[in-house]
């Protein structure tokens, strides 16, 4: 069974990320609405997903609303390469980033009201938190707040520059 924690400072992502958890993530960017993204996190055979408007939060002051969408089969959403254009529920989208994701040690899970995770992708490197906004009310599409909680200091400028490239 793979390790759910993010790689430590002494380990490279190649040693601990690739294939270690079987958890992949994909961030899609809308072709028609370039500030709209869709975050997909693989949980078993499904991809949990959220639509994020106004771009991905790439600094610690930014917060974005993320609307939870119905999960889809992971096999149908595994990307072949960055930049590839696909047809999603909301229209055409390109693969903006992909990589592995990890649950932050002992902090909630995708079923809790606060979900902390780490992304190790080609562009995104760091920790994010999804916080359920409307408490325990049952809704068809729950609303969450997506917040950047930590990032690699060395990749911060690269992330912001490459987002709009």
Which ranges in 12-155 belong to alpha helices (H)?
13-16
Q: Summarize the confidence of residues 134-154 as an average pLDDT.
A: 73
Question: pLDDT tens digits for 11-47?
Answer: 333 333 333 456 899 999 998 888 999 999 998 889 9
Structure tokens at 85: 């254009």
Kindly report which listed range (19-23, 29-33, 118-122, 156-160) carries the lowest average pLDDT score. Answer: 156-160
pLDDT band at 8, cuts 50/70/90? very low
Phi/psi at 11 (nearest 5 deg)? -110, 140
Which pLDDT score is estimated for 109?
58
Give CA torsion, residues 1, 96, 39, 92, to 10 deg. Answer: -130
Alpha carbon distance 148, 155 (integer Å): 13
| Per-residue confidence band for 65, with pLDDT thresholds at 50, 70 and 90 | very high
Instruction: Check residue 121 and give its pLDDT.
Output: 92
Q: Residue 132: which pLDDT band, with cuts at 50, 70 and 90?
A: confident
Q: Output the pLDDT for position 74.
A: 77
Q: Of 98, 101, 97, nearest to 7 (Cα)? A: 101
């Amino acid at each position: 069974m793979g390790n759910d924690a993010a790689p430590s400072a002494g380990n490279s992502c190649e040693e601990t990320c690739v294939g270690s958890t079987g958890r992949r993530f994909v961030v899609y960017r809308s072709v028609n609405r370039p500030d709209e993204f869709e975050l997909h996190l693989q949980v078993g055979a499904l991809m949990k997903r959220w639509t994020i408007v106004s771009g991905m939060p790439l600094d610690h002051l930014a917060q974005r609303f993320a609307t939870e969408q119905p999960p889809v089969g992971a096999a149908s959403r595994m990307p072949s390469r960055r930049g590839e254009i696909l047809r999603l529920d909301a229209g055409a989208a390109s693969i903006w980033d992909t990589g592995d994701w990890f649950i932050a040690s002992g902090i909630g899970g995708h079923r809790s009201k606060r979900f902390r995770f780490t992304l190790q992708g080609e562009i995104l490197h760091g920790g994010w938190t999804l916080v359920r906004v409307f408490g325990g009310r049952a809704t068809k599409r729950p609303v969450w707040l997506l917040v950047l909680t930590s990032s690699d200091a060395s990749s911060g400028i690269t992330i912001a520059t490459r987002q709009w490239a």
